[in-house]
Structure 1
Amino acid sequence: MKRHEARQKALQALFQLDNTELTLEEAMDHALERSFEEEQATAYNSFFEQLVRGTTEHKEAIDELLTANLENWSLSRLPKIERTVLRLAVYELRFSQDAPHGVVLNEAIELSKTFGDEKSSKFVNGVLSKFIETK
């Protein structure tokens, strides 16, 4: 699985975790469209798993960082897809060293274009640019 696809699948799993009572493993399996038996036979793609588990484990700190960088918005008022894209990107920017910041920003914008509405990518770009400027 390529990194772009891993980010898409991670976004889907994280979105499900934010909206359902699924366990982490169930959300990852569902995003990968795998059954429990298939999961037992094959390990998760390590990058995909790192993104989902890392974002989930650091969610409280990520939300604090986002709240401090949102202007005229509260985290709870954000559309769920933008909130999920931002959480995933902030995890990569602050807690992972796997990709250059420009790549993370571009990937987040592309995810916003794919899964959000026409304004999502501009909003995500504006919020995330603050994280890159302050690094």
Structure 2
Amino acid sequence: MSARTKARRRALNLLFSADVRGDDLAVALAAEAKRAASEPERQSSWLYAREIVDGVVDHAGEIDEQITAHSRDWKLERMPAVDRALLRLATWELVFNDEVPTAVAIDEAVELAKELSTEESGAFVHGVLARIARSN
């Protein structure tokens, strides 16, 4: 598994857990940064995970607008929490990170959705992200 794939998983865990618990994402990020500092073997994945979460925090309103506009009658609060976190992560990569190819951002999110969410989540996440990618 590549360092970026590991970083996406770490970012997803942070986004998901903060959402489900109702925690402030910045506070969760600070706690994870403290933990990462004590685990040097995880440093390579931590830097990009932090970049993702910082990006989602910085552009939260725009990201949620993109998801809402392209999710075809699905409200954010009605989506499974894993799907919501994945869509936020991948939307940040698609819209705000020019270093990640569109296909990679979508494929990684779809694979995580298939693995961690509902049976229909892979197709749902793919559809929303494909529409976001086409509009940007």
Name the TM-score, length of structure 2 as normaliser. 0.84
The structure-2 alpha-carbon separation of the partners of 1:110 and 1:37, relative to structure 1 and needing over 3 Å to count, comes to closer
Higher helix share: 2
Partner Cα distance (2:4, 2:36) in 1: 23
CA distance in 1, matches of 2:99, 2:51: 10
Contact conserved, 2:113 with 2:125, CA < 8 A, in 1? yes
Q: Which residue of 2 aligns with 1:73?
A: 74
Structure 1 residues 36 and 120, CA gap change in structure 2 (3 angstroms): closer
Q: How does 1:50-89 map to 2 (within 5 A)?
A: 50-89=51-90
- CA shift in 2, pair 1:37/1:71, >3 Å: closer
Give how far 1:45 is off. Answer: 2.7
CA distance in 2, matches of 1:35, 1:128: 31
1:25 aligns with 30
Report the residue type matching 2:38 in the other structure: E
Offset, 1:100 = 0.3
C-alpha spacing 1:11/1:117, structure 2 compared with 1 (3 Å): same
Local SS of the residue matching 2:16: helix
Please name the residue that 1:131 is paired with.
132
Secondary structure of the 2:38 match is: helix
Structure 2 residue runs without a partner (length 5+): none
Q: List gaps (5 residues or longer) in structure 1.
A: none
Q: Deviating runs (4+, > 3 A) in structure 1? A: 34-37
- C-alpha separation between the residues in 1 aligned to 2:35 and 2:128? 36
Identical-pair percentage: 34
Count of matched residue pairs: 129
Q: What's the RMSD between the two structures over aligned residues?
A: 2.3
